């Protein structure tokens, strides 16, 4: 038997509990089917949902999550799956010091015991708070990448990745990556054959490797620097025109060095990098909203050469413009 302990607390994403359990249950069902005798020898999964005090918790949606018992750091499992909080403001979450300290201590104990630790999305903040990601590769939700990198500078953040794994720590980036995490745990403990069969039966995309095509590359300014805000507004108004940093700085009556410094402090990006993200973001919205050719999109966002635009778009999103449009335009039209 493979024992997975699922640790919960108030404010978690409810589906982060039920989703992995459904994956483990499906794996057990498929392993036991008579028409697949080779899978019947695979490890079977059992799980326990646990909270710090052994009491039910309330999810961010208001749902009550029942538990099977109390988190006991001395009880070893094969893996601990740490659920993620649904918090727009991570400062508020991190301020819950009693919760952070208690979970950090339990996680470190399990780590010393050699247990596989898994988490996803904003749950990865808890592993970072425990100091378990220092010097390691990690991911988190793309919208939290800047904040995560600022808080934990000793972590090698690769926020484009859906999954990262090293030294028995498995992390997911996106919210629903708990499904990919669960399938990966099936693979680790019961083999690739059962994992693939489980993923196929539940329509879980095991080839989802990047969050980039889902990411909003801009944070809607998200700062309080008036100089940078004026620069951003000017960029937005002149998107189709060529870009020169000296001309932009002169129009704002500052030096290039001053503008560059303010931009990096406010956005974490140099002006040109920000402009590239802006152009790609506008291009994504155009591709999502209507049937439109690559040449037209390229010109509208300031690229005279469609091939240059295509290369930049794929580098930023992981998809070609055509692939992006076919994947997301239909969704947008259904939502109208």
For 5-50, how does the pLDDT look when each residue is reduced to its tens digit (9 = 90+)? Answer: 999 999 999 999 999 999 999 999 999 765 555 555 556 899 999 9
* Residues written for the chain: 336
Instruction: Say if residue 199 is in the same domain as residue 230.
Output: no
**What would you measure as the largest C-alpha separation in the chain, in angstroms?**
76
**Joined tokens for residue 327:** 């994947």
Please tell me the predicted confidence (pLDDT) of residue 22. Answer: 97
Q: Which residue has the tokens 């937005």?
A: 236
Instruction: Say if residue 172 is in the same domain as residue 315.
Output: no
For 87-110, how does the pLDDT look when each residue is reduced to its tens digit (9 = 90+)? Answer: 778 999 999 999 999 999 999 999
pLDDT at 157 over 60: yes
pLDDT at 268 over 90: no
Q: Which residues contact 115 (CB under 8 A, 6 or more apart)?
A: 76, 77, 78, 79, 80, 168
Instruction: Say if residue 287 is in the same domain as residue 190.
Output: no
Q: What CATH number is attached to the domain comprising 21?
A: 3.40.50.880
% of the chain residues with pLDDT over 70 = 89
Q: Which residue has the tokens 């999109």?
A: 297
Q: Is position 250 within any domain?
A: yes
Give the chain's domain count. Answer: 2
- Relative orientation angle of helices 226-237 and 256-267, to the nearest 10 degrees: 100
Q: Which residue has the tokens 């459904």?
A: 22
User: Which residue, 119, 50, 106, 113, is CA-closest to 73?
Assistant: 106
**332 burial class (0-12, 13-18, 19+ CB within 10 angstroms)?**
middle
Instruction: Say if residue 81 is in the same domain as residue 107.
Output: yes
Q: Is position 145 within any domain?
A: yes
Region of poorest pLDDT, from 34-38, 94-98, 135-139, 323-327: 34-38
Please tell me the predicted confidence (pLDDT) of residue 5. Answer: 98
Instruction: Say if residue 40 is in the same domain as residue 91.
Output: yes
For 210-265, how does the pLDDT look when each residue is reduced to its tens digit (9 = 90+)? Answer: 676 666 656 555 677 889 888 888 888 788 887 888 999 998 999 999 999 999 98
Q: What CATH number is attached to the domain comprising 291?
A: 1.10.10.60
Cα gap 145→157, rounded to integer Å? 8
In order of 12, 19, 117, 217, 232, the CA distances from 15 in angstroms are 9, 5, 19, 26, 38
Give the structural domain span for 273.
Answer: 226-335
Q: Which residue has the tokens 């055509």?
A: 322
CB 9 within 8 A of CB 99: yes
Instruction: Say if residue 112 is in the same domain as residue 21.
Output: yes
Please tell me the predicted confidence (pLDDT) of residue 174. Answer: 85
Instruction: Say if residue 209 is in the same domain as residue 318.
Output: no
Please tell me the predicted confidence (pLDDT) of residue 145. Answer: 86
Instruction: Say if residue 169 is in the same domain as residue 241.
Output: no
Which of 184, 214, 244 marks a domain boundary?
A: 214
* CA 235 to centroid of chain Cα atoms: 28
Instruction: Say if residue 315 is in the same domain as residue 232.
Output: yes
Q: Is position 221 within any domain?
A: no
Instruction: Say if residue 268 is in the same domain as residue 296.
Output: yes
For 68-89, how does the pLDDT look when each residue is reduced to its tens digit (9 = 90+)? Answer: 999 999 898 999 999 999 977 8
């Amino acid at each position: 038997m493979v024992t997975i302990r699922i640790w919960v607390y108030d404010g978690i994403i409810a589906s982060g509990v039920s989703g992995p359990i459904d994956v483990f249950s499906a794996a057990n069902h498929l392993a036991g089917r008579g028409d697949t005798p080779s899978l019947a020898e695979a490890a079977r999964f059992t799980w326990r949902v646990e909270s710090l005090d052994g009491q039910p918790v309330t999810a961010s949606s208001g749902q009550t999550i029942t538990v099977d018992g109390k988190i006991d750091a001395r009880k070893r499992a094969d893996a601990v799956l740490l659920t993620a909080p649904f918090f727009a403001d991570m400062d508020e979450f991190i301020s819950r010091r009693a919760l952070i300290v208690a979970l950090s201590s339990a996680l470190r104990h399990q780590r010393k015991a050699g247990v596989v630790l898994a988490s996803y999305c904003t749950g990865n903040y808890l592993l970072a708070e425990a100091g378990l990601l220092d010097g390691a590769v990690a991911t988190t939700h793309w919208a939290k990448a800047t904040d995560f990198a600022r808080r934990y500078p000793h972590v090698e953040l690769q926020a484009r990745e859906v999954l990262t794994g090293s030294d028995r720590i498995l992390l997911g980036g996106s919210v629903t990556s708990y499904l990919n995490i669960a399938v990966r745990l099936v693979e680790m403990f019961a083999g690739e054959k059962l994992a693939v069969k489980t993923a196929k039966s539940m329509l879980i995309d095991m080839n989802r490797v990047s969050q980039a095509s889902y990411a909003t590359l801009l944070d809607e300014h998200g700062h309080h620097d008036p100089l940078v805000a004026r620069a951003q507004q000017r960029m937005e108004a002149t998107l189709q025109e060529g870009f020169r940093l000296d001309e932009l700085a002169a129009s704002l009556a500052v030096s290039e060095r001053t503008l560059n410094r303010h931009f990096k402090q406010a956005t974490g990006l140099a002006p040109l990098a920000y402009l590239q993200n802006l152009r790609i973001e506008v291009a994504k919205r155009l591709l999502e909203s209507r049937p439109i050719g690559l040449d037209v999109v390229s010109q509208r966002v300031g690229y005279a050469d469609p091939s240059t635009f295509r290369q930049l778009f794929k580098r930023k999103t992981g998809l070609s413009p055509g692939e992006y449009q076919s994947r997301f335009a239909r969704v947008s039209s259904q939502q109208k």
